[in-house]
Amino acid sequence: MRNLTSPILIFPAVLAALCLLFGCGDPQTPARSSNRPDIPDTPDTREITDMAGRTVIVPTEIDSVFSTGPASAIILYMAAPDKLLGWNYELNETEKSVILEEYHDLPNFGMGDAVNYEAVIAADPAIALNCGTIDEAMIADCDALEKTLGIPVVAVDSDLNNSAAAFRFLGELLGVREHTDALASYAEELFDDIASLKSIPEEKKLRVYYGNGEDSLETAPDGSSHAGILDTINAVNVADLELGDGSRVQISAEQLLAWDPDIILVNGEPKANMSGGSAAKAILEHPDYAALKAVQEQKVYGIPNAPFGWVDRPAGPNRLIGIRYFASIIYAEHMNWDMEEEIREFFKLFYHVDMTDEQLQHLLAGTLTSAH
């Protein structure tokens, strides 16, 4: 056993002092980026590369996760609900009609500029999850949030086309691979199923208007991520407009009449407790819209919004069922599915619930609001 008072220890002490002054690196240990929390590399931590390409040190076992926004909370609830620290707003009755009861009263930490960072820090999550479009702005947001919270922030890609990869990434991160592999396989099969829609010739593509708001005259123009499902199923978004600084634009009734779409999809206004079904009924019954082709052919459809919007709001993996549902409506001759069974399968796999016949009918009618 080495004598601790031996002079042979002088050299390591000097070396340690030099390292403090000038910095020494272990050639087998990757250098940390300066914006990451100073979490030591121990058996309790591991190094990962998130979906934005950032190197992040995370706990080996992750028991609770702060979601930075609704899309993050939804994908986390789908993948590992028991690790969801809280929501980003108070769930409404439509959302509670599907979300398991034990998750109804999780804390509301807020979102955007209204996040209660003190409450998040006090709740002591293992990591934060930021699900969104991977770009420089998102990377900067993740880095800044790490400094604010003092915990690792992990980026996840919200692009629908990358859904399978996102679920598999979460499975590795959270230790729930068996379940997330099933979610990933569903997404892969979905995109395989709709691949044939890409071969529809330009002249046979159907023209679709996607409306939001109480009057359904707020739309997401072609190229907006909020109308991404239309691109995915190879439909034509009639709103060929400049997007500007926002994500949606307000149009007039005259503009809708001028476009005269083949099909109208309307979301309603969740903030006003107006369902997609109610919005569709309002258009079908409005005398000013009687000349529209979609009205005359009864091709105005309300977008289901339970537990979350099927086309948008938020732009998360909740839209996967919307792809299948609206592909079957817009291109019915190409897509031959039993949609009731498809919906049941999706809700069981992604939302952890068995839909009854009554719930299913209320869901498609936009009246599923009774918690169970």
Confirm if 200 and 234 have CB atoms less than 8 A apart. yes
Evaluated on CA atoms 236, 237, 242, 245, the torsion sign reads negative
d(CA 281, CA 286): 8
Residue 2 clears pLDDT 80, i.e. is over it: no
pLDDT at 30: 32
Domains of the chain with bracketed CATH: 45-193 (3.40.50.1980), 198-365 (3.40.50.1980)
More confident residue, 363 or 48: 48
Reading the block at residue 115, the tokens are 């996040």
Lowest mean pLDDT among 15-19, 39-43, 148-152: 15-19
- State how far the alpha carbon of 209 is from the alpha carbons of 221, 227, 241, 289, 292, in Å: 9, 10, 12, 13, 12
Mean pLDDT of 195-200: 94
Bridge partners of 153? 128
Residue 372 clears pLDDT 50, i.e. is over it: no
Mean pLDDT of 115-120: 97
Lowest mean pLDDT among 36-40, 82-86, 287-291: 36-40
Mean pLDDT of 273-284: 92
Residue 103 clears pLDDT 50, i.e. is over it: yes
DSSP 87-118: BSS---HHHHTTS-GGGTT--B---GGG--HH
pLDDT at 290: 98
pLDDT tens by residue, 342-360 = 999 999 999 999 999 998 9
Q: Tell me the whole-structure pTM to 2 decimals.
A: 0.84
d(CA 191, CA 125): 34
pLDDT at 3: 41
Mean pLDDT of 151-176: 97
Share of the chain above pLDDT 90, in %: 73
More confident residue, 335 or 128: 128
The rounded mean pLDDT for the chain is 87
**CB-facing half-sphere around the CA of 138: CA atoms within 13 A:** 19
For 214-252, give one letter per residue: b (16+ CB within 10 A) or e. ebbbbbbbbebbbbbbbbbbbbbbbbebebeeeebbebe
More confident residue, 305 or 30: 305
Confirm if 202 and 235 have CB atoms less than 8 A apart. no
pLDDT tens by residue, 23-67 = 444 433 333 333 444 555 567 999 999 999 999 999 999 999 999
Tokens 């091709």 locate to 299
Q: Please, what is the Cα angle at 156 between 154 and 157, to 5 degrees?
A: 155
